[in-house]
Amino acid sequence: MAFNKNTSIAIIGAGSSGIAAAKNLLQCGFENVTLFEQSNRVGGNWVYTEDVKHSSVYETTHIITSKAHSSYLDFPMPESYPDYPSHWLMAEYFDNYAKEFGVYERVKFDTTVQHITRTADGKWTVETDKGTSNFDVLIVSNGHHWNPRYPNYQGKFEGEFLHSHYFKNNKPFTGKSVMVIGAGNSGCDAAVEVCRVAKKTFISMRRGYHFIPKFVFGQPADVIANKFQWVPDFLLDWVYDLVLRLENGDITKWGLKRPDHGVRMSHPVSNSELLYYIRHGEITAKPDIERFEGKTVYFKDGSKEELDTIIAATGFTVTLPFFDKNFIHYEDTDVRLYKRIFHPEYNNLMFVGLIQASGCFWKLADFQSKLLANYMAGNFALPQNMNAEIDREVKQIREGFTKSARHLIEVDYFKYSADVIKHIPKNAPEWTKAKLNRLVV
């Protein structure tokens, strides 16, 4: 399908990725853009609400990448923002971004996409709770942090059991014995918040993690990491590991496993408080779970604990609920998209934001959107051997990260940024004040 300025474009979701896609398309001259958003604001997860039906952050969330490396390319965060802004400030930032670049008025708010099908002539029929429309191009940016993945253990826990998706604040856990399963960013944050009010707080981990403090040598951790990108790969993990050992000490002294993989081989855990509260006795680290019996949890080291509540911070399943599963699905399988953007069979189907990385998520979405818009404007051609390229990219992910469902969409932030940027042509339209050859990660 050839694209022109009148091409009709549907974008599913007006979160941080969807608004980046719309902004770049608009600045490239594609005016016929419609975004479908089920909530009443842009910003996706960053719009806090206590309504558990809505995917959102919890009450005290701050970003885990610093302001210095978390702005869209041509829309810096205000100088007044702290190093790690709160969700309130981030929602404001996304709001201002969408208004600044003419995205807001193109969003259909309070509209749920129910089903999407491909027509006989290769277009897309988008069915919503408000009506049905056809579009020439479909861009999927519906996010992947909303469909909870639950753990499976022998027995049944008879206390309160919930997923971290439904954790909004620590008030319901006052005076209770609580355990968090999982030590990703959500799990660590939940444990830290709960321990402030709970009678006892535990965190169960099935493997070792690298805990990255938010500040290293007085600076945000990603600012320091960026300074080490000149170091060869074979030394970089050693450098990172050395820095973490100097910062954190020997974490095995406090019941934590030492990781059996390099720092860059798993999604980073950015948290300065978990180890602080463990060392103060407010949180107790436990190994993996063996089984449940009533309210008693038995662990693989032979210990047991009586609990009131378990919070499963065990991640999310990548879900595209509007597609028939026999058409497209990426649940617990390799995501076969060129550059994590372009579908190999349909040249008018693209994805923005279907990635996880060690750095800022929406900054990568901005880079993806620039490449996508260049493609539609005719400034970038997809390779003839796209499936072979996808095979190579999938292999890199499998070999570069520990085996885990969450790592099926993981990318190395710095390498992926550089790879996408190098494919943005030097003669591309100047959509922004920044020159393309001055793109930074």
Give me the residue spans of the domains in the chain. 9-147+316-438, 160-312
Name the DSSP class of 76: P
Distance CA 420, CA 368 (A): 7
pLDDT given at position 55? 64
Arithmetic mean of pLDDT over the chain: 91
Distance CA 274, CA 284 (A): 10
pLDDT given at position 66? 92
pLDDT given at position 434? 44
pLDDT given at position 429? 66
Percent of all residues in the chain with a pLDDT value above 90, rounded to a whole number: 69
Question: Which CATH code fits 9-147+316-438?
Answer: 3.50.50.60
Assess whether pLDDT exceeds 70 at residue 441: no
**Rounded mean pLDDT, 202-213:** 94
Nearest by Cα to 162 from 25, 305, 313: 313
Evaluate whether 142 touches 12 at the Cβ level (below 8 Å). yes
Tokens of 441: 């990660």
**DSSP codes joined into one string, 102-141:** T-GGGEE-S--EEEEEE-TTS-EEEEETTEEEEESEEEE-
Model confidence at 102, in pLDDT bands (50, 70, 90)? very high
Common-topology check for domains 9-147+316-438 and 160-312: yes
Assess whether pLDDT exceeds 50 at residue 403: yes
Q: Which residues have a Cβ under 8 Å from the Cβ of 240 and sit 6 or more positions away? A: 210, 225, 228, 262, 263, 264
With tokens 């499998």, the residue in question is 398
**Rounded mean pLDDT, 237-241:** 87
Specify the range with the lowest mean pLDDT, choosing from 7-21, 314-328, 404-418. 404-418
pLDDT given at position 87? 94
Percent of all residues in the chain with a pLDDT value above 70, rounded to a whole number: 95
pLDDT given at position 278? 97
Evaluate whether 296 touches 126 at the Cβ level (below 8 Å). no
Give me the CATH topology for the region 160-312: FAD/NAD(P)-binding domain (3.50.50)
Assess whether pLDDT exceeds 70 at residue 338: yes
> Angle of helix 16-27 relative to helix 361-376, nearest 10 degrees?
30
Assess whether pLDDT exceeds 90 at residue 260: no
Question: Tens digits of per-residue pLDDT, 11-66?
Answer: 999 999 999 999 999 988 999 999 999 999 999 888 988 776 666 788 999 999 99
Model confidence at 406, in pLDDT bands (50, 70, 90)? low
pLDDT given at position 437? 39
CB-hemisphere CA count at 13 Å for 413? Answer: 23
pLDDT given at position 222? 87
For residue 168, the tally of other CB atoms under 10 A from its CB is 17
Assess whether pLDDT exceeds 50 at residue 438: no
